Amino acid sequence: MVKTEVQNKVIIGSRESRLAVLQSEMVRDYIKTQHPELDVEILTMKTTGDKILDRTLDKVGGKGLFVKELDKALLEGRTMLSVHSLKDMPMEVPGELPLLAFSKREDPRDVLVLPEGVSELDLTKPLGCSSLRRTLQLKELYPEMEVKSIRGNLQTRLRKLDNGEYSGLILAAAGLKRLGLENRICRYFSEDEILPAAGQGILAVQGRQDLTYDYLEGYRDEKAWFAGSAERAFVKYLNGGCSSPVAAYGVVEGDELFLRGLYYRECDGRYFKDSIRGPKSEAEKLGRDLAKRMQDMYENDKTGGTSL
């Protein structure tokens, strides 16, 4: 493993999309504010997931395609940090590349975006959606509408929408708000309507096991850390990712954590929602416990649930 020799220089690895760079700049600005003596740079790179846009993620390898190049740069010493949207990270993280901190959570909800100048959905065109998790829950909200996959960065998706290819897009509020595009949001979906992806709205800072990160002192948001850890434990237990529409959303209330989860039964396409409450200090255990309980309860119970 290559060591970075210049001690006062921090190089942050980032995907090259506008949103990814902006999110890396948020971490860069925090470090520079706390430690003005450090020289902080951002190294951008196109990941495999950014290059393959003609197929859905479950067909080409899942979330790992968005981190492979960033992980390689970390391991080779070309970068010292990577900044990710937590929801885009695989559930399995290499031991030598630990997650160091989670940011304060931005709005975790999913939203509806319509073409510019349009106020109502055109039922003759499909809704654009990038995940099976959203597709599953949209079938209940808009049973009369076709839901069609859409890939690409946020600007690419909005351009396709405004060019008339879709009646609307389902996107994460967090990305739109960070880019100053909140005015494009036509409707917010409550967590009861569309349960968010695990980690949605949270930035994850990843580093190397053999380096010290004193300059990140104070960056970690405790509520996001507990909630995100519980959500990821839930999804990991169920082997969820891009190929399985599993979802989880946690809220810290004092010393307690309230966690909601979505369990998908592949044999008949039905899904179920349930929740658990417990000490926030046991966040990962709560995630696993809820996942196990839902799997045990619903896997062989052929009644109830909502059908895709």
Question: Can you name the CATH fold of 1-103+202-220?
Answer: D-Maltodextrin-Binding Protein; domain 2 (3.40.190)
Domain map (residue ranges) of the chain: 1-103+202-220, 110-188, 221-299
Per-residue pLDDT, 3: 42
Report residue 232: phi and psi, to 5°.
-70, -35
268 pLDDT band, cuts 50/70/90, is confident
CATH number for domain 110-188, candidates 3.30.930.10, 2.60.40.10, 3.40.190.10, 3.40.50.2300: 3.40.190.10
Assess whether 88 carries a catalytic annotation.
yes
Q: Which two tokens stand for residue 175?
A: 């990305």
CA–CA distances in Å: residue 288 to residues 48, 54, 88, 284: 31, 34, 20, 6
Of 50, 88, 221, 289, the catalytic one is: 88
Sign of CA dihedral 112, 118, 123, 125: negative
Q: pLDDT averaged over the chain?
A: 89
Average pLDDT over residues 55-73: 64
Instruction: Look at 123 and 308; give whichever has higher pLDDT.
Output: 123
Q: Which residues contact 203 (CB under 8 A, 6 or more apart)?
A: 23, 26, 27, 83, 84, 85, 86, 102, 103
- Residue range 115-143, pLDDT digits in tens: 999 999 999 999 999 888 999 999 999 99
CATH number for domain 221-299, candidates 3.30.160.40, 3.40.50.2000, 1.10.10.10, 3.40.1190.20: 3.30.160.40
Using DSSP's 3-state secondary structure scheme, residue 14 falls into strand
- Residue range 225-242, pLDDT digits in tens: 999 999 999 999 998 654
pTM: 0.89
- Residue range 148-160, pLDDT digits in tens: 999 888 999 999 9
Q: Does this chain's domain 1-103+202-220 share its CATH topology with 110-188?
A: yes
Neighbour tally for 144: CB within 10 Å: 6
> Across-strand partners of 206?
82, 99
